[in-house]
Chains A and B, each alone.
Chain A
């Protein structure tokens, strides 16, 4: 919208809608495989294709949608489903808080748009971009976000349709795409820091492993992720030189 007269090549490249789409492509396999898997599971949890579609449009969060199915099919009360969804997605608060300071120059309405479409994956891609280029552009964010959002809705809906015809569709290793992607994003983020900083981070990750292991005895995984992140980031600040 705002860059029609922009002749500065490098600025245009860093903040272009189409570059955002391109940077989203490596994550699409993750969205597609998880989305299709969700659609299939939605059908086996007695949701209709319309409900699967609406859920992916309205909630747009993989883990929350899976847990929604699990609780719904178990006959949990609506209050429990809504509170669990809230806790599962609370980590997005930290992610938004991390990304938002780079986008304050845009209008409130556009910022609401950036926040609405923030996911684990787009967060990962965006912080990697910040780490490499020290800035974020709104058009680039929109390209990234809309590509991810539309792919997610389409994948979930197609998964629902597949699930209606093939109730036991197996996903051959595709569910691992998500873990592989987070691993790669972690490596990319670490490769940008200096040598002394890297040692600090590696120690923090070791601490994270121990802390998570302990927490998993007491709380579900999504809550352990949230608590461990808050604790380890605080220790990170307290111990930096």
Chain B
């Protein structure tokens, strides 16, 4: 249960560069009225960023070719159906985790 001064400085450095991008927009939008086109652009961010995060984990970038991460892709299919069917976050997560656990049992 120890740490060093250098490690503490490193962690504080990382904390600062993580904190700034999170907080600056909250200060910025109080003082500046965002133009209409920026607001319309921001409306696309949720779907874009969520689909990017999902798609990125379905690809496998190790090796010389980018391929599918087959295990994630196969587990994602029933997960997606449950999400569309139930529209429930917790049911989707539970089905996803169980599907992946079963797949790992065989592969």
Taken together as a complex, chains A and B put the C-alpha atoms of A18 and B65 apart, in Å, by 48
Cα distance A59–B66 when bound, in Å? 30
Measured in the bound complex, the distance between the Cα atoms of B49 and A224 in whole Å is 11
Q: How far is the CA of A60 from the CA of B59 in the complex (A)?
A: 25
A182 and B54 within 8 A (CB) = yes
A residues with a Cβ closer than 8 A to B are: 25-27, 29-30, 33, 48-51, 54-55, 58-61, 64, 68, 78, 81-83, 85-86, 89-98, 100-101, 103-104, 108, 111-112, 114-116, 118, 120, 123-124, 127, 131, 172-191, 201, 204-205, 208-209, 212-213, 216-217, 220-221, 224-225, 228-229, 232-234, 236-237, 240
Q: Report yes or no: B52 in contact with A183, Cβ–Cβ below 8 A.
A: no
Residues from 16 to 31 in B contacting A, C-beta threshold 8 Å = 17-19, 21-30
Q: Check if A208 sits within 8 Å of B48, measured CB to CB.
A: yes
Find out whether the CB atom of B40 lies under 8 angstroms from the CB atom of A240. yes
Q: Considering the chains assembled together, what is the distance between the CA atoms of A117 and B66 in angstroms?
A: 34
Compute the total of residue contacts between A and B using a CB distance below 8 Å: 266
Q: Is the CB of B18 within 8 A of A89?
A: yes
Contacts of B66 in A (CB 8 A): 213, 216-217
The answer to whether B21 and A124 touch across the interface, beta carbons within 8 angstroms, is: no
With A51-B7, A182-B50, A213-B59 as given contacts, are A118 and B42 in contact (CB-CB < 8 Å)? no
Q: Are B97 and A29 in contact (CB under 8 A)?
A: yes
